[in-house]
C-alpha cells in the first residue's frame, strides 16, 4: 500500500485540515458527553442502590426468620437480589464499578453488619456482598451490573448530519478564502509578454483588496517601464540611421575600394544589429498582430515557394490539411528563421507537419543535415547574442538574436519552440501549435 500523499492544492490542504479537525473535535466531544452521562448515571444508580439495600436489610433484620423468605422477591430489583445464605466465595472485586457499588452498599448498611464483598468467578462482572443479620443469619446481596445505556435511534443520524453541515461550512469557508488566490494566479498566468492582462477586482476583504491593488499597480509599472525602454530603443534606432547613412555615402567616395568594401560590410552589420535589437525588444513587449484562422498547408506552401523561387533547396515534406488560429506574420517569421538557419548551416531545409494523437496540437518541424548542436547548447542558443562559433561556420555572421526573437514570438503565440538533434544527423527545429479546434 503506497504512502498517503499530502494534497498539492491549498484548497485541498485547508479543507482536509479543517474537516479532519472538526470531525475529531466532534467525536471527542461526543465521547466526553457519553462518558459524563455514564458517570452521572452510575453515581445516581449507586446512591439509589445504597439507599434501597440499606432499607431492605433493615426490614429483613426486623422480620422473624420464618417470614424473611416471602419478602425476598418483593425486595429484588433488576440489578440485584437477596439470598438467605452465605453465597458464593471469591476474590475481592477488581472492576471499578463493582468496587464503587460494594463501597456504597457497605457504607449504607452500616458497619454493624460487617459486610464483605467478592466477585463471582467465571460469571462476568458479578458481585456479591455478604453480611450477617442481628440474629446471626447470613444474608447475601447478589449484584449484577446492568448493561450500558442504549443510544437513541436518532442520535447517529443527528451526529452524521452535524458532521455533514460542518464539512459543508468548512468547504464553503475555504472556497471563499482561496478564491482570490486562484483569481490572482489566473490573471498572472494570462499576463503575457505584451503585459496586457485584465485587472483584478479590488473588492472583498481588506487583505484581498490590498493584494489586488498592489498587483494592478505592479502590472502598470512594469508595462510603463518596458514601454519606456522600447521607446528609447526605437529612438536610438531611428537616430542611428542618419549617421550610418552619412558614413555609407562617405565610404562610397573613398578611393581605396578594398577598404571601402570592408567598411561597407561593417556598416551593414551595424545596421542589421540595430534592427534586430529593436525587433527583439518589441517581441519582449508582445505584438499587436491579431490571431486569425489560417490554412497551415497553404501558409507553409507559400513560404516554401518564396524560397524555391529564390533558388534555395527547401521542400515541403508532408501536408496535413489542418487549420490553426495563430498570428500569421509571427508564424512566418519563426518558420522563416528556422529555414534560414537550416540553409545557412545545413545547405538545405525540409518542412514537415504532424498532428498529435488527440488532434489538439500541430507540430511544424524544420529539418536540416548540418553538423547539429551540442546537447548542452540546445537551450543556450535561444539566449540573446549567443552564437556557436565553434560548431557553426564563423563566416556566416549573424547577430545572435534570430532564435531569441523566434522564441519570444512563440511565447506570444502560445506555442512551444525547441531544437533537437536528429539521430541520422542534422538538426530539427520543432514548433508546436494548438489546432483551431483547441485554440
pLDDT band with cut points at 50, 70 and 90 for residue 390: very low
CATH of the domain at 276: 1.10.287.130
Residue with cell 437513541: 152
| Pair 324, 412 in one domain | yes
Whether 166 maps to a domain, the answer reads: no
Cross-strand partners of 431 = 364, 417
Q: Is 437 helix (H, G, I), strand (E, B) or coil?
A: coil
pLDDT band with cut points at 50, 70 and 90 for residue 228: confident
| Pair 327, 275 in one domain | no
Mean pLDDT of the region 4-32: 80
pLDDT band with cut points at 50, 70 and 90 for residue 199: confident
Is pLDDT above 80 for 238?
A: no
Q: pLDDT tens-digit profile of 334-346?
A: 999 899 888 988 8
CATH of the domain at 70: 3.30.450
pLDDT band with cut points at 50, 70 and 90 for residue 194: low
Whether 2 maps to a domain, the answer reads: no
| Pair 318, 262 in one domain | no
Cross-strand partners of 349 = 314
Q: pLDDT tens-digit profile of 114-125?
A: 888 888 887 677
Rounded to an integer, what distance in angstroms lies between the CA atom of residue 159 and that of residue 299? 67
Of 33-47, 125-139, 161-175, 362-376, give the lowest mean pLDDT range.
33-47
pLDDT band with cut points at 50, 70 and 90 for residue 389: low
Is pLDDT above 50 for 244?
A: yes
Q: What are phi and psi of 248, to 5 degrees?
A: -65, -35
Is pLDDT above 50 for 393?
A: no
Rounded to an integer, what distance in angstroms lies between the CA atom of residue 17 and that of residue 179? 18
pLDDT band with cut points at 50, 70 and 90 for residue 435: low
Number of domains composing the chain: 3
What pLDDT was estimated at residue 392? 43
| Pair 42, 125 in one domain | yes
Rounded to an integer, what distance in angstroms lies between the CA atom of residue 289 and that of residue 152? 72
Rounded to an integer, what distance in angstroms lies between the CA atom of residue 279 and that of residue 288? 13
Whether 204 maps to a domain, the answer reads: yes
| Pair 336, 305 in one domain | yes
**Better-scored residue on pLDDT, 139 or 391:** 139
Is pLDDT above 80 for 241?
A: no
Mean pLDDT of the region 313-326: 83
What pLDDT was estimated at residue 285? 55
Is pLDDT above 70 for 126?
A: yes
Q: What is the mean pLDDT of the chain?
A: 80
What pLDDT was estimated at residue 394? 38
| Pair 106, 130 in one domain | yes
Rounded to an integer, what distance in angstroms lies between the CA atom of residue 199 and that of residue 188? 10
| Pair 277, 348 in one domain | no
Mean pLDDT of the region 14-20: 82
Between the alpha carbon of residue 400 and those of residues 96, 160, 364, 389, 427, the distances in Å are 88, 68, 22, 10, 17
| Pair 248, 327 in one domain | no
| Pair 339, 367 in one domain | yes
pLDDT band with cut points at 50, 70 and 90 for residue 257: confident
Q: Which of 286, 315, 341 is the last residue of a domain?
A: 286
What pLDDT was estimated at residue 366? 92
* Cβ(108)–Cβ(54) below 8 Å: yes
Residues sharing a CB contact under 8 Å with residue 296, sequence separation 6 or more, in sequence order: 320, 322, 323, 324, 353, 362, 364
| Pair 275, 361 in one domain | no
CATH of the domain at 399: 3.30.565.10
Q: Which of 237, 270, 286 is the last residue of a domain?
A: 286
Is pLDDT above 50 for 3?
A: yes
User: Residue 102 belongs to what domain range?
Assistant: 10-143
**Better-scored residue on pLDDT, 108 or 8:** 108
What pLDDT was estimated at residue 281? 64
Whether 169 maps to a domain, the answer reads: no
C-alpha 360 chain-centroid distance: 25
Whether 199 maps to a domain, the answer reads: yes
Is pLDDT above 80 for 232?
A: no
Is pLDDT above 60 for 438?
A: no
pLDDT band with cut points at 50, 70 and 90 for residue 107: confident
| Pair 264, 309 in one domain | no
Whether 232 maps to a domain, the answer reads: yes
Whether 152 maps to a domain, the answer reads: no
Question: All 3 cell numbers of residue 208?
Answer: 484581498
DSSP state of 126: -
| Pair 137, 15 in one domain | yes
Whether 124 maps to a domain, the answer reads: yes
pTM for the whole thing? 0.51
pLDDT band with cut points at 50, 70 and 90 for residue 157: confident
Is pLDDT above 80 for 8?
A: no
Burial code of 275-289, b = ≥16 C-beta within 10 A, e = fewer? ebbbbbbbbbbbbee
Q: Which of 286, 316, 342 is the last residue of a domain?
A: 286
Mean pLDDT of the region 408-413: 82
Amino acid at each position: 500500500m503506497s504512502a498517503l500523499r499530502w494534497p498539492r492544492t491549498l484548497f485541498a490542504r485547508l479543507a482536509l485540515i479543517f474537516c479532519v479537525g472538526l470531525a475529531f473535535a466532534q467525536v471527542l466531544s461526543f465521547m466526553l458527553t457519553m462518558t459524563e452521562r455514564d458517570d452521572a448515571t452510575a453515581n445516581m444508580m449507586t446512591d439509589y442502590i445504597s439507599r434501597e439495600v440499606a432499607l431492605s436489610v433493615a426490614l429483613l433484620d426486623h422480620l422473624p426468620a420464618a417470614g424473611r423468605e416471602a419478602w425476598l422477591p418483593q425486595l429484588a430489583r433488576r440489578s440485584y437480589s437477596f439470598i438467605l445464605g452465605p453465597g458464593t466465595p471469591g476474590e475481592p472485586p477488581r472492576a471499578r464499578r463493582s468496587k464503587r457499588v460494594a463501597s456504597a452498599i457497605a457504607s449504607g448498611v452500616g458497619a454493624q453488619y460487617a459486610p464483605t464483598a467478592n466477585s463471582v468467578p467465571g460469571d462476568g462482572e458479578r458481585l456479591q456482598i455478604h453480611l450477617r443479620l442481628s440474629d446471626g443469619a447470613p444474608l447475601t446481596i447478589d449484584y449484577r451490573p446492568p448493561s450500558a445505556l442504549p443510544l437513541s435511534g436518532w442520535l447517529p443520524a443527528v451526529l452524521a448530519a452535524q458532521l455533514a453541515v460542518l464539512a459543508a461550512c468548512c468547504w464553503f469557508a475555504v472556497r471563499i478564502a482561496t478564491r482570490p488566490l486562484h483569481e490572482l494566479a489566473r490573471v498572472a498566468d494570462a499576463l503575457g509578454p505584451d503585459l496586457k492582462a485584465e485587472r483584478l477586482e479590488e473588492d472583498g476583504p481588506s487583505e484581498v483588496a490590498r493584494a489586488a491593488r498592489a498587483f494592478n499597480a505592479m502590472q502598470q509599472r512594469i508595462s510603463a517601464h518596458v514601454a519606456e525602454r522600447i521607446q528609447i530603443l526605437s529612438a536610438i534606432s531611428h537616430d542611428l540611421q542618419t549617421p550610418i547613412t552619412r558614413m555609407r555615402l562617405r565610404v562610397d567616395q573613398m578611393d581605396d575600394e578594398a577598404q571601402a568594401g570592408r567598411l561597407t560590410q561593417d556598416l551593414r552589420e551595424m545596421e542589421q544589429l540595430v534592427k534586430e535589437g529593436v525587433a527583439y525588444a518589441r517581441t519582449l513587449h508582445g505584438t499587436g498582430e491579431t490571431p486569425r484562422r489560417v490554412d497551415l498547408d497553404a501558409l507553409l506552401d507559400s513560404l516554401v515557394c518564396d524560397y524555391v523561387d529564390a533558388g534555395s533547396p527547401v521542400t515541403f515534406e508532408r501536408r496535413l490539411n489542418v487549420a490553426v488560429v495563430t498570428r500569421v506574420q509571427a508564424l512566418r517569421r519563426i518558420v522563416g528563421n528556422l529555414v534560414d538557419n537550416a540553409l545557412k548551416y545545413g545547405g538545405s531545409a525540409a518542412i514537415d507537419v504532424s498532428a498529435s494523437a488527440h488532434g489538439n496540437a500541430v507540430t511544424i518541424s524544420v529539418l536540416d543535415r548540418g553538423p547539429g548542436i551540442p546537447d548542452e547548447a540546445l537551450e543556450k542558443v535561444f539566449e540573446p547574442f549567443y552564437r556557436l562559433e565553434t560548431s557553426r561556420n564563423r563566416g556566416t555572421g549573424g547577430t545572435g538574436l534570430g532564435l531569441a526573437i523566434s522564441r519570444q514570438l512563440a511565447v506570444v503565440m502560445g506555442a512551444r519552440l525547441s531544437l533537437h538533434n536528429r539521430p541520422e544527423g542534422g538538426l530539427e527545429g520543432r514548433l508546436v501549435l494548438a489546432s483551431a479546434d483547441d485554440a
